[in-house]
Amino acid sequence: MVAEKTSAFGEAWNAMALQTMLANQALAASWLRALWVPSLARRPSAAAVAADLQHAALGVLGKGMAPVHRKAVANAKRLSRTKLR
């Protein structure tokens, strides 16, 4: 079970790193678009910016928990099978 947990946390770490990179790229692209063409960009409110950041953080956490959840569910199913004697 230790090897399964280690691999699940490794997968989670990689998934979170990738999602963080994608979220950072999306945020940087939106800021660069606002700087490049200021006439087309509307100034977002503080609440909209906070919502975008919260959505990005929840996406990172969701991607990180998916491998751990998958392994935990598989272990629970495997351990719940009882042998009838």
In whole angstroms, what is the distance from residue 22 CA to residue 67 CA? 18
pTM equals 0.72
Please state whether 21 falls in left (phi above 0), alpha (psi between -120 and 50) or beta: alpha
pLDDT at position 58: 93
Are the beta carbons of 15 and 62 closer than 8 angstroms? no
Tell me the per-residue pLDDT of 13-57, one tens digit each, with 9 for 90 and over: 999 999 999 999 988 888 787 777 766 656 667 787 788 889 999
